[in-house]
Amino acid sequence: MANFNIDAKAQQTFDAIVIGSGVSGGWAAKEFTGKGLATLVLERGRDVRHLKDYPTTNMYPYQFAHRGALTQEIKTENPVASRCYAFREDAMHFFVKDKEHPYVQEKPFDWIRGYQVGGKSLLWARQTQRWSDFDFEGPLRDDFAVDWPIRYKDLEHWYSYVERFAGISGNKDGLAELPDGEFLPGYPLNAVEDHFKKTLSGKYSGRKLISARCAHLSQPQDIHLQQGRGQCQNRVLCQRGCPFGGYFSSNSSTLPWAEKTGKLTLKPDSVVESIIYDEQKGRATGVRVIDAKTKKTTEYFANVIFVNAAALNTNLILLNSVSSRFPEGLGNDSGVLGKYVAFHNYSARVYAEFDGLRQFKTDGRNPAGGGYIPRFRNLHKHEMDFKRGYAAGFSAYRGFEPDMSGIGATLKKNINEKNLGPWRVNSHMMGETIPKESNYVRLSKDKKDDWGIPQLQIAVAYDDNDAKMKADYLEQLSDMFAEAGFSNIRKDESSQAPGLDIHEMGGARMGLDPKTSVLNKWNQMHACKNVFVTDGACMTSTSTQNPSLTYMAMTARAVDYAVAEMKKRNI
């Protein structure tokens, strides 16, 4: 019988375990397997395979029962998920429904999740900007959170490394606050977006509109063709899953690449309950997993563990990984695990119309989403009555306005003629929020999920700094719209709760001092050297840029370090 136990443990033992298969988990899998390590990837959701499991990707609008809209019943059953822009009839199968994994809202928080192989990489908006030292030096300069243990130079090589493989479209804009990358050709601004760009350049110092940088193959290179991916077809149906592999996802890129090595074991429907810590060895030895369907518990073992379950679920797993050594959660000697959670503030928009440039017969859309205004407030020094700043998206498009006049054959003829209406323009705010101890997640003391794991209790809220920043955004963008000759300018201050921005970060932050942080400069736990966190939970601050590219770069860098340390027998 003992031999059977030994054999079973051998079958459950790997060189590396990666928890989560989204943007960062997929990269960890690719890097570990590429370096020859037998790697287990655990995903709590169902299996989703590229091409095979995109059921709506080629459907026409008339093939949807409700033409893409949600029924009132679905909205009522999913008051949180249905607030997400992509939760529609064509993509809601990629979202966690509200009843499937409840959580406790100590303060209102919209937790948007995608439990499947690939995670939210099937759903993300694909915006990819590098951070700069304006971001990494922010907490030290402006006296909040703790100092980042890294600077731009530490990630510069790794940004280039992941950009070349993922495929990022963009232009060389020469901005210190938004470093250039390894770009495929950028998507051009349309006529109205270009008009707005010229207005900013002529009327405002330090304010620029650039073509948005995004993870789309505008012109595939050999490395992308080797992945089996093809050119983006500009369908702008990305949330359905792309049959061309035109945008980057774990499903079309990193996971198939890892699978080709023969070193990958992927286990969907695997809910990680906790990380196992061996008191005598003084290290983590594996993970405890509950089968999502059968509820059977299995333990898997490895020399190194990467936690990439997405920011809040990573916090949940670490907080639930208790032992005599770590009674308050794995690696939590500092007491900050679960605290200093921050997010991006997307709760303001400005809309308007433009009556010019009607000679262009296009709706103006492209998969990059239009333009991007990098942060211009408090950039070189603190000069406002709020800390940090905001970036902004900007896009222009034309809708069709059917002619409903006439009757009979005349009416039919008029309806079938597609008449373009006026240009409509809009901007959305992407504000940096300040990590605070009062913004935290913790385990519920009395509520458990279907797998017997404590539910996550979330207490995250806006503050006065956010309100002041939002007011400035609304004022400045409205003024900029007026300068551009836009009309019917409307400010929209959303009442949405935090979380709907889908960029939650922190809780297991990086830092120089083990007394005030969970991770060191390599994303490695100060107190448990063979556990690494490279998803949003690791972030010390949020900046204004979309974070996914930084997660990818950090993951590739951390795996490279971890493997080197394993060879030295340091972990």
- Topology given in CATH for the domain delimited by 14-167+248-343+438-461+504-571: FAD/NAD(P)-binding domain (3.50.50)
Q: Which of 262, 229, 260, 226 is nearest to 243 (CA)?
A: 229
Rounded Cα–Cα distance for residues 14 and 258 (Å): 15
Whether 181 contacts 163, CB under 8 Å: yes
Instruction: Kindly provide the b/e burial profile for residues 420-448, where b requires at least 16 CB atoms within 10 angstroms of the residue's own CB.
Output: bebbbbbbbbbbbbbbbeebbbbbbeeee
pLDDT for residue 330: 98
Helix axes 548-567, 23-34, angle to 10 degrees: 30
pLDDT in tens, the chain (571 residues): 445 566 668 789 999 999 999 999 999 999 999 999 999 999 999 999 999 999 999 999 999 999 999 999 999 999 999 999 999 999 999 999 999 999 999 999 999 999 999 999 999 999 999 999 999 999 999 999 999 999 999 999 999 999 999 999 999 999 999 999 999 999 999 999 999 999 999 999 999 999 999 999 999 999 999 999 999 999 999 999 999 999 999 999 999 999 999 999 999 999 999 999 999 999 999 999 999 999 999 999 999 999 999 999 999 999 999 999 999 999 999 999 999 999 999 999 999 999 999 888 777 888 899 999 999 999 999 999 999 999 999 999 988 777 778 788 877 877 777 778 889 999 999 999 999 999 999 999 999 999 999 999 999 999 999 999 999 999 999 999 999 999 999 999 988 999 999 999 999 999 999 999 999 999 999 999 999 999 999 999 999 999 999 999 999 999 999 999 999 999 9
Where do the structural domains in the chain lie, given as residue ranges? Answer: 14-167+248-343+438-461+504-571, 176-214+346-432+462-497
Rounded Cα–Cα distance for residues 423 and 331 (Å): 53
Characterise 336 by phi-psi region: left (phi > 0), alpha (psi -120 to 50), beta (else): alpha
Report the predicted TM-score, pTM, of the whole model to 2 decimal places.
Answer: 0.96
Pairing of strands 264-267, 270-278: unpaired
Express each pLDDT in 135-144 by its tens digit.
999 999 999 9
Rounded Cα–Cα distance for residues 107 and 130 (Å): 32
pLDDT for residue 483: 98
Distance linking the first and last C-alpha atoms of the chain: 32
* 3-state secondary structure at position 482: helix
Rounded Cα–Cα distance for residues 38 and 264 (Å): 6
Q: Which of 200, 180, 175 is nearest to 189 (CA)?
A: 200
pLDDT for residue 485: 97
Cβ-proximal residues to 351 (8 Å cutoff; 6+ apart), any chain: 424, 425, 426, 488, 489, 490, 492
Q: How far is CA 478 from the centre of its chain?
A: 28
DSSP string, 347-416: -EEEEEEE---TT--S----TT-SEEE---TTSSS--SSSSS-EEEEEEEEEEE-----S-HHHHHHHHH
Express each pLDDT in 319-336 by its tens digit.
999 999 999 999 999 999
Rounded Cα–Cα distance for residues 61 and 64 (Å): 6
pLDDT for residue 1: 44
Rounded Cα–Cα distance for residues 276 and 528 (Å): 11
Express each pLDDT in 251-298 by its tens digit.
999 999 999 999 999 999 999 999 999 999 999 999 999 999 999 999
pLDDT for residue 317: 98
